[in-house]
């Protein structure tokens, strides 16, 4: 059993848009991003609000998807503090980006906007 639980987006109610994840069309060109949260033992900011803000700012460019989704382009590890203790080993072979503070989120948004252009 993992020390830190894996909280899927469907558990938090946060998605990249208002459509259920299962309703994405096959020709949807949005970048599929899987969000992995840390255990939340010492968060220095509101992780859920931060992910909601990312989803809003990248609306139309990304789709935040649950763990059961296929074709994930990258994993966004949302860590509550600089320790960044979430187990990311299940995502070996995938691109993983780590956010430990709101400033990291700003950088991530800029990088994804540039990638989507």
Q: CATH for 9-116, among 3.40.1000, 1.10.150, 3.40.50, 3.30.590?
A: 3.40.50
Q: Give the separation between CA 59 and CA 29, rounded to whole angstroms.
A: 12
Q: Per-residue pLDDT for the chain (117 aa), expressed as one digit of tens each?
A: 332 333 333 344 443 333 344 444 566 789 999 999 999 999 999 999 999 999 999 999 999 999 888 999 999 999 999 999 999 999 999 999 999 999 999 999 999 999 887
pLDDT value of position 18: 36
- Sequence spans of domains, the chain: 9-116
Q: Where are the beta strands (DSSP E) in the chain?
A: 31-37, 62-65, 74-78, 95-99
Q: Which residues contact 43 (CB under 8 A, 6 or more apart)?
A: 80, 81
What is the per-residue pLDDT across 35-66, written as a single tens digit (0 to 9) for each? Answer: 999 999 999 999 999 999 999 999 999 999 99
| Run of H or E residues at 54 | helix 47-57
Report DSSP state, residue 59. B
Q: How far is CA 24 from CA 2, 57, 60, 109, in A?
A: 30, 19, 12, 22
């Amino acid at each position: 059993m993992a020390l830190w639980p894996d909280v899927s987006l469907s558990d938090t109610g946060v998605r990249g848009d208002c459509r259920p994840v299962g309703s994405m069309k096959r020709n949807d060109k949005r970048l599929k991003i899987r969000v992995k949260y840390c255990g939340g033992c010492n968060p220095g900011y509101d992780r859920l609000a931060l992910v909601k803000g990312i989803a809003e700012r990248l609306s139309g460019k990304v789709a935040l998807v649950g763990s059961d989704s296929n074709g994930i382009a990258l994993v966004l590890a949302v860590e509550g503090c600089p320790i960044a203790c979430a187990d990311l080993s299940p995502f070996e072979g995938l691109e993983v980006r780590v956010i430990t503070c709101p400033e990291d989120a700003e950088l991530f948004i800029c990088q994804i906007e540039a990638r989507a252009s």
